[in-house]
Amino acid sequence: MSKRRFSKTMLALNAILAWGAVFFSISVGEGVASIVIPPALTLVAWLYAGYIGVGHLDFRRSVETPSAPARPRRRDDEDDLPREAPR
């Protein structure tokens, strides 16, 4: 099963950078904040939505794909080792 480590890292990194830009723009001034905040928050929303959407599609695919049934074992097939011929 995939842990999606790379995409989680990219989501967290981009969200942190976007929120950093929001807080920096607020500290700089109202004019800069009005320009930076809408695209930065939109970026956070789109990143999160994309991550959740891809995860949903991965989960749906894994649920829809049936796994191969287990091979029934016979009584004489316990170890799958060749047996010696009786003498």
- The pLDDT assigned to 40 comes to 92
What one-character-per-residue DSSP string does 10-51 give? HHHHHHHHHHHHHHHHHHH-HHHHHHHHHHHHHHHHHHHHHH
List of residues 6+ apart from 21 with CB closer than 8 A: 36, 40
Q: Note the pLDDT tens digit of each residue in 2-28.
A: 577 888 888 899 999 999 999 999 999
Domain locations along the chain: 5-64
| pTM greater than 0.75 | no
- C-alpha to C-alpha distance for 26 and 32, rounded to whole angstroms: 7
Q: How far is CA 58 from CA 26, 61, 65, 74, in A?
A: 38, 5, 11, 36
- The pLDDT assigned to 45 comes to 92
pLDDT-wise least confident of 33-42, 46-55, 67-76: 67-76
pLDDT-wise least confident of 33-37, 47-51, 56-60: 56-60
- C-alpha to C-alpha distance for 44 and 11, rounded to whole angstroms: 8
- The pLDDT assigned to 61 comes to 77
